[in-house]
Structure 1
Amino acid sequence: MSQGKETIVSYLTSVPAWYLSTVEETPEGPRPHVRPFSFAMMQDGDIQFCTATTKDCYREMAANPSVELTAWKSGAGWVILRGKANLTDTADARTREEGFKHMVALGEDWASADDERLTFFTIEEAEAWICDIDGSWNPVEL
C-alpha cells in the first residue's frame, strides 16, 4: 500500500471538508465547478470517494473525468490531488457501509449501503503535492 496515498487520506479525513473540482459544460464553455466533499477511504491500495449517481458532480465526471481536489490542514499546509475520475464502482461491502454511514451522518437520505444511487469512484493517473505558504510544492509519490 502506498504511503503517499495514506498521506492523502490522512489529510482528507482530518478536516471537516475538502474540495473537489470537476469540469462543468455550460453554454459559455467548460468551467470549473467546486464543491465540498468529506469521504475518502483506502481499499485494496486505492483511495475510494463517495457520491451519488444523481448528483451534478457524477454527471460532470462522466462527461469529463478531469478532477482536482484540495484540503488545507492547519500547520501542515495543503494537499492537491489531480487526475482522472474512474467511475467504475469497485467498493467492497465494508467501504460501502462506511460511505453509507458517512453520507447519512451528513443528513443525506439513503435506503441502505446497497442503495443504487450511492456510488464510489477512484482517481487514476493521479499526481499529488503537499504545498506550503512559502510557495513549495512537494510531490507525493502515489
Structure 2
Amino acid sequence: MKEVYDFLKEAETYYLATAEGDQPRVRPFGTVDIFENRLYIQTGKAKPVAKQMAANPKVEISAMDKQGRWIRVAGEVVEDNRVEAKKHMLDAYPQLRNRYSETDDNTQVLYLKNVTATIEAFGRDKKVITF
C-alpha cells in the first residue's frame, strides 16, 4: 500500500474514474493519505463524484510519474465518517481547510478496499500490488 501511496503523492495529480449510470466520469484529484493502515482519498459530499461513489463504490485511479511509469488502481471506496479520519486528511492538506473542516457536513473521506494496483512502463515488467 505504501508504494501506491508514494506513487500517487509523487504524481501529485491522479485521475479518479467513477460511473454515473452507463456513463464513465473521470476527474483530477490530488488528496491521498494513509490512516490506520488504509489508503484514503477525500472529496466533498455535495459534489457529483460523492453521489456517484455512493451509488457504485467501484472506482479506478490512474496517474503517471516523471519517469514515464503509470499506475492503475482498482478498488472499492468505503466512507469513513469519523472526525479523526477527516482531521488526519485535512492535517495532511492544510490548504483545504479554507473549504473543509473535520466537523462540517460536507467533508468526505473514503478508504479503498479490495485494491489491485498495477504499475507499468513501456519495456518494463509490470508490478501488481494488492491490499
Do these two structures clear the TM 0.5 threshold for a shared fold by scoring above it? yes
The answer to whether the aligner puts 1:34 opposite 2:23 as a matched pair is no
Q: Which amino acid aligns with 1:20?
A: L
How many pairs are equivalent? Answer: 130
Cα distance in 2 for partners of 1:35, 1:22 equals: 9
Runs (4+) of structure 1 moved beyond 6 Å? none
- Pick from 1, 6, 12 the counterpart of residue 2 of structure 2: 6
TM-score normalised by structure 2 residue count: 0.87
Structure 2 unmatched ranges of 5 or more: none
Note the aligned Cα RMSD (angstroms). 2.1
Distance 1:36 1:129, change over 3 A: same
| Secondary structure class of the residue paired with 2:109 | strand
**1:122 CA displacement:** 0.9
Match of 1:77 among 60, 69, 72: 69
2:111 alignment partner, one of 122, 126, 142: 122
Q: Report the CA distance shift for 1:57/1:135 in structure 2 as closer, same or farther (over 3 A).
A: farther
Call closer, same or farther: CA 1:33–1:61 in 2, change over 3 Å.
Answer: same
Gaps of 5+ in 1: none
Instruction: Give the direction of change, closer, same or farther, for the CA distance of 1:103–1:31 in structure 2 (3 Å limit).
Output: same
In 1: Cα distance, 2:9 partner to 2:89 partner: 16
